[in-house]
Chain A
């Protein structure tokens, strides 16, 4: 786990962005100036201005965006028009859409929701409380099902004072709602708005909406609804243009591995097998993947001997795995937690499937051994001194037999533990909690090693990178953070989501981090520069679980909208929509060969899906051009559904040999 000294510096250097730097300077200056002005230090302010050559306009601009005062920010909503116009204009818009050409109808109806929201907010802002309520009651029913959750939140806002603190408000305030329209539709919309003097809608369109116009055929209803659902509309087209290196890293030193393989014969029964890497087939290692990033793009820790050994063991194990397909389904072993009393929140199973780490609502983290081998602590330092370090079984000797037990409890957090994660070599456990901290635990001593403080709000998810060393966390502060285990400060902040970031996962090549949020978008972030390289919309609820396919080409996501979506990483296209769950989906996982997807959730069932079929049907050749059609037939994709007795499924995990492990707490029904 020793990384090169300059890891952090490297990243920082790579991440340097001159423009960003400038902007930051300006902001700092503006802040200082503001402070001076507030305290009536005019001369100093004037001097500073002169010296730094700051234009008045910049400061003004800055003030506007920084100031917490509602009036300045929301002044855009200031509108003197008669409140009764809103009804009329909204009705007119609906009428226009109704009368428009059939091909354009579904495209144009995307307008209704944002216009409705902004009209409502304008009414509220201008103190027309009763009209606003009336307007809301009349038209909120007309909105799509997937907007209802937001509308419930919006309905709380009935007064100008309320507007500052509402989460949804912040969203609509800080960004423009993105709508994608074909050129034809857009032009007919403009024409209509001009002709009919529908000024209210026109103002909204100009001030609050971002219309992404594209040439070509208008999209149909299915296409639109597949991508709809984001809190601030769809992703802009240009958001998904940048190149993503989604291939796997080149495996180093095949020869060495072969040597190791013989060696590992004797070392087989050593207690701590290590494995810092997801397995990959040996054939792939020979030819470099054209989509793979350079191995040095992100500095990775050098492999130690033990890591190489562990990798060899993993490789050998993977050779024994069963190939899964639609006609050869895996076996599922289910671990039920008894007497958990609603307390079990998170579960993770180590990569070699020997240990299970669980986070509980009562703040503790427990690690179980799921093999007959019991968990042991390392001996105390004094006793360790006495051990012959050259001995063959030194790893065995350092463990204290007297501490052997089925499970170990680790105390340290002061709030519910929302996520747990094993490091790839399973020597560490990561946990994140409601108390705003992420903690690193050792599985040698079962004690807390580091407490990472950065998020000030609950941390919903945390996850180790595939090569260890790095980990990511995401929380209620709407940010995801990248950390390295040896620094107590985050290396990167990924900020851009409009609501809580609920889930985070690493790409198998460790160059990217994917996050899922309550704003119902998925974002892919580049680790090197912290930029958002993909925005994926289409979920209609919070995204609770993410999983990359082992080859890194595809992503599966699932959440409270009961659906599992399959994405492709090159263009960010939605490939498949797997419907079948009847409640929130808590966990998704690809089989080790990437053919089968397993999902489990609150509807007390584990489901297996034919992922290979989705990928095959939309092969890469087709993807060169337009967005492929979304495959969503439940019948042909659902391979099996396995209900449990009132045990919700919190985690699904494929072992190296493709046995599916699932875990969840049993809830007794009275």
Chain B
């Protein structure tokens, strides 16, 4: 009975002896310490019991020092002044000479320093904020209120079967509370059907969805940051999550083919925003999001002009996103971390992989943590070096290759340098570095030497990126542009023509598709690049875009709920968009292009939405 033991906790006579010694009383008989220990324990317990009263009345859950003071004052004892720990007092443990001690660490305070430092900021004053907790019995889904459907509940909905779900539905069924969604009264005779409520959006939700997606990929940076902010903070998004997930996933598929770097960046920022939202249970949609992010990291080409555009930033950003996905969602059952690592590893092993893919793979691996760098990246160093060397010194190299190699080299230096510093012992000899790491050995040696000479300050890294995970771990929900200079937004200036690239690109083609099944004959506008550039875009590690012919665009939606980036063939692909029309090229203004892209994404997302619904209906007989 641990509880009983707690109740019986006492001060030991050893403690009394130690305390006595610290007060200068050295010879104290055993008998006396025992009596004192018992009495002290009793009195302490009494005081703590009294102090608990003050805690209850102070409406706190944690006993504070002031409670003890108050209890002492009630007992007419002078309180112990000077203990003002806000948090629980941090006891330290020490042992030695056969004794064990717990003590409070008191640091010496340098008064001079205390005086010279500027005053701390005054804590903010108390203020009142009012909001509607409930309107005529219905709790509105506003940021001030907790999410209407908690994460646990969202999880339950997935993991539990329909029978367990029933009472849950009934509970919320009577009180419609989702953004004005009117309550669906479930007739009792349709119990066996999986309720479709979760996938039906109210008009407001549809409007919201439209607004958000348009803003996220639109041209106005202000609106975008507002939309992302909303995605990252609003508690009531859970019902729209499947749509957003599909939007992102489809958007990436299409835009990778288009090499539309800007849109890919926007989509990744959406991923980040959705991940930042604490009210969402994302596990359900990882199978869509992870491949999308992965694509943005390792895809061979992400932009129209590889030599000029900063697609490296997108890869870095994606890598950090992936690292935080791993950190957040990896469990022993889904093994995301190891599966992702394997995917990256296989790209590294592929001798034909282009430098940009290598860069993505290395960056993805490095963000996952130093352990991964040590076990996977550093052993690959010779082969990496070879690739870099080939691209720099080999014949028939293009300027693109050179730039890429330079980027890869800097990335490796930045991430592997600190690890190697710890791995290798002091004298850094260039020869031995070259023997171990090949071509890059020289630069690595130089870098490590510099690291050693400046132990505290990180030497200016060759690339402009800073510490890896910083932009993700900040819990503060601020607008992304303003706060994190490491998000791809900061690279915008380097690619000022991002949106206009498509306009003067000769290969941008607009195609109109129509959904074969839909009665409304929705027209879809698709952007596509020339056959020449499309075909090689499909690289082996890329998870989901299957080789497309220049004239046809397939969009596959997989049914498998788990993420299977490497084995797409196992699931039955369903084709939504199939028709192809002869390419008609036209010149459009940048604005028109972007809005065209938006509408395309919208319609794609709609198609995906339909898909989700059909999927649900198909599952019904099974349950």
- CB of B128 within 8 Å of the partner chain: yes
Q: Which residues of A contact B7 (CB under 8 A)?
A: 152, 155
**Which residues of A in the span 247-289 have a Cβ within 8 Å of any Cβ on B?**
none
| B146 located at the interface, meaning its Cβ lies under 8 Å from any Cβ of chain A in the complex | yes
Name the B residues within 8 Å of A137 (CB-CB): 1, 4
**Top 3 closest A-B pairs, CB basis?**
A329-B137, A334-B133, A332-B133
Q: For the complex, is A343 an interface residue (Cβ under 8 Å from B)?
A: yes
CA distance A152 to B7 in the complex (A): 6
Whether A642 lies near B126 (C-beta < 8 A) is: no
- Is A521 interfacial (CB 8 A cutoff)? no
Interface members, chain A 489-531 (any B CB < 8 Å): 500, 502, 518
C-alpha gap A160/B137 in the complex (Å)? 57
Interface size on A, residues (CB 8 A): 69
Tell me the complex Cα distance, A602–B1, Å: 28
- Chain B residues within 8 Å of A, Cβ to Cβ: 1, 4, 7-8, 38, 42, 45-46, 49, 53-54, 56-61, 64, 66, 70, 74, 123-137, 139, 144-146, 175
Contact segment of A109-117, A381-389, A626-634, A644-652: A644-652
Contact between A366 and B42, CB atoms less than 8 A apart: no
Contact with B along A305-342 (1 / 0, CB 8 A): 00000000000000000000000111111111111111
Q: Is A333 a contact partner of B133 (Cβ separation < 8 A)?
A: yes
Interface string of A562-604 (1 = CB under 8 A from B): 0000000000000000000000101000000000000000100
Residues A334 and B132 in contact, CB atoms below 8 Å apart: yes
Q: How far is the CA of A306 from the CA of B64 in the complex (A)?
A: 47
Check A340 against B126 for contact (C-beta < 8 Å): yes
Q: Across the interface, do A366 and B57 meet the contact criterion of CB distance under 8 Å?
A: no
Contacts of B125 in A (CB 8 A): 339
Could you tell me the distance between the alpha carbons of A644 and B42 in the complex, rounded to whole angstroms?
40
Of the A-B pairs whose beta carbons lie under 8 Å apart in the complex, a sample of 29, sorted by A's number, is A137-B1, A157-B42, A159-B42, A166-B46, A167-B49, A331-B136, A332-B133, A334-B133, A334-B144, A335-B128, A335-B130, A336-B131, A338-B127, A338-B129, A342-B58, A342-B64, A344-B59, A345-B59, A361-B58, A416-B58, A544-B56, A560-B56, A584-B56, A602-B61, A640-B137, A644-B133, A644-B145, A650-B59, A662-B133
CB within 8 Å of B: which A136-172 residues: 137, 140-141, 152-153, 155-159, 162, 165-167
**Would you call A329 and B128 a contact (CB within 8 A)?**
no
**Most chain A beta-carbon neighbours within 10 Å: one of B7, B126, B136, B144:** B126
- A280-B150 Cα distance, complex, nearest whole Å: 42
* Docked complex Cα distance between A85 and B53 (Å): 37
A518-B53, A640-B134 known; A341+B127 contact, CB < 8 A: no
Q: Which residues of the other chain, A, contact B144 by a CB distance below 8 angstroms?
A: 334, 336, 645
A138 CB, nearest partner CB in chain B, Å: 11
Q: Which of B4, B56, B60 has the most CB of A within 10 A?
A: B56
Q: Which of chain A's residues 334-383 have a Cβ closer than 8 Å to chain B? A: 334-345, 356, 360-361, 366, 368, 370
Complex CA gap A159/B133 in Å reads: 53
Q: Is the CB of B134 within 8 A of A332?
A: yes
Residues A642 and B134 in contact in the complex (CB < 8 Å), given A344-B126, A458-B74:
yes
A460 to chain B: which residues have CB within 8 Å? Answer: 57
Q: Mark A78-113, 1 if CB is under 8 A from B, else 0.
A: 000000000000000000000000000000000000
Could you tell me if A162 and B126 are in contact, using CB atoms closer than 8 angstroms?
Answer: no
Contacts of A226 in B (CB 8 A): none
Shortest CB-to-CB span from B42 to chain A, Å, is 6
Q: Could you tell me the distance between the alpha carbons of A544 and B58 in the complex, rounded to whole angstroms?
A: 11
17 additional A-B pairs beyond A137-B4, A165-B46, A345-B59, beta carbons within 8 Å, are A155-B8, A159-B42, A330-B136, A331-B135, A332-B133, A332-B134, A334-B144, A336-B128, A338-B124, A339-B125, A345-B58, A458-B70, A640-B134, A640-B175, A642-B133, A642-B139, A660-B134
Q: When the two chains form their complex, are residues A645 and B128 in contact, meaning their CB atoms are under 8 A apart?
A: no
Name the distance in Å between A550's Cβ and chain B's nearest Cβ. 21
CB–CB B126/A434 < 8 A: no
Give CA–CA (A662, B128) in the complex, Å.
Answer: 12
Complex formed: what's the CA distance from A418 to B38 in Å? 34
Residues of A within 8 A of B128 (CB): 335-338, 356, 368, 370, 663
In the complex with contacts A156-B46, A336-B130, A458-B70, A500-B53 CB distance below 8 A: yes
Q: Across the interface, do A156 and B42 meet the contact criterion of CB distance under 8 Å?
A: yes
Residue of B nearest to A129 (CB): B38
A521 to B49, CA, bound (A): 20
- Interface residue A415 (Cβ < 8 Å from any Cβ of B): yes
B-chain residues with CB within 8 Å of residue A165 when the two chains form the complex: 46
A228 lies within 8 A of chain B by Cβ? no
Question: B70 near A331 (CB under 8 angstroms)?
Answer: no
Closest CB in chain B relative to A585 CB, distance in Å: 11
Within the complex, what minimum Cβ distance (angstroms) separates B434 from chain A?
48
Across-interface contacts of B46 in A (CB, < 8 A): 156, 165-166
**By CB atoms of chain A within 10 A, which of B59, B60, B124, B135 has the most?**
B59
Q: Which of A370-423 contact B (CB under 8 A)?
A: 370, 415-416, 418
Taking a contact as CB atoms closer than 8 A, the residue among A155, A166, A457, A560 that contacts B74 in the complex is: A457
Q: Shortest CB–CB separation between residue A664 and chain B, in angstroms?
A: 9
* In the bound complex, CA of A333 to CA of B145 (Å): 12
Contact A415 B49 (CB under 8 A): no
**CB of A43 to closest CB in B, whole Å:** 37
Say yes or no: B146 contacts A643, CB within 8 Å. Answer: yes
A639 at the interface (CB under 8 A from B): yes
Q: Which residues on B sit within 8 Å (CB–CB) of A431?
A: none
Give every chain B residue within 8 A of A162 (Cβ-Cβ). Answer: 42
B127 touches A339 (CB 8 A): yes
Q: Which residues of A contact B45 (CB under 8 A)?
A: 156
Beta-carbon contact of B4 and A153 below 8 Å: no
Q: How far is the CA of A450 from the CA of B454 in the complex (A)?
A: 68
B126 near A333 (CB under 8 angstroms)? Answer: no
Instruction: Determine the residue in chain B with the shortest Cβ distance to A165.
Output: B46
Bound-complex Cα distance A368 to B131 (A):
16
Instruction: For residue A653, give the distance in angstroms from its CB to the closest CB of chain B.
Output: 13
Contacts of A663 in B (CB 8 A): 128
* Docked pose: A133 CA to B132 CA in angstroms: 54
Instruction: For the complex formed, measure the closest distance between the CB of A309 and the CB atoms of chain B, giving whole angstroms.
Output: 29
Chain B contacts for A339, CB-based, 8 A: 123-127
Q: Are B146 and A329 in contact, with the CB atoms below 8 A?
A: no
Which of chain B's residues have a CB closer than 8 A to the CB of A584?
A: 56
A133, A366, A542: the one contacting B126 at CB < 8 Å is A366
CB-CB under 8 A from A639, the residues of chain B are 137
B62 closest partner in A (C-beta): A342
**A205 smallest CB distance to B (angstroms):** 28
* Contact of A458 with B54 at beta-carbon distance under 8 Å, contacts A339-B126, A345-B59, A434-B70 already known: yes
A518–B50 CA distance with the chains assembled, in angstroms: 12
Of A166, A328, A331, which is within 8 A of B132 by CB?
Answer: A331
Indicate if the CB atoms of B130 and A333 lie closer than 8 Å.
yes
- Asked if A132 is an interface residue, CB under 8 A from chain B, the answer is no
B4, A502: Cβ atoms under 8 Å?
Answer: no
A153 contacts across to B, CB distance below 8 A: 49
Q: Which of A415, A476, A586 contacts B59 (CB 8 A)?
A: A586
Do the beta carbons of A606 and B133 come within 8 Å of each other?
yes
Contact yes or no, B129 A329, CB < 8 A: no
Interchain CB contact under 8 A, A156 and B126 = no
Q: Which of A141, A343, A644 contacts B1, CB < 8 Å?
A: A141
* Closest-CB distance, B365 to chain A (whole angstroms): 31
Please name all residues of chain A whose beta carbon is closer than 8 Å to the beta carbon of B136 when the two chains form the complex.
328-331
Closest Cβ–Cβ distance, residue A20 to chain B (whole Å): 30
In the bound assembly, the distance between CA atoms of A331 and B61 in angstroms comes to 29
Asked if B57 and A502 make an inter-chain contact with CB atoms under 8 angstroms apart, the answer reads yes
Residues of B within 8 A of A648 (CB): 59
Which of A331, A341, A416 is the one whose CB lies under 8 Å from B123? Answer: A341
CA distance A593 to B371 in the complex (A): 67
Q: Residue of B at shortest CB range from A358? A: B126
Chain B residues with CB below 8 A from A340, complex form? 126
User: Complex formed: what's the CA distance from A158 to B145 in Å?
Assistant: 50
Q: How far is the CA of A476 from the CA of B53 in the complex (A)?
A: 9
In the complex formed, the residue of A with least CB distance to B143 is A645
**In the complex, how many angstroms separate the beta carbon of A136 from the nearest chain B beta carbon?**
9
Q: How far is the CB of A334 from chain B (nearest CB, A)?
A: 4
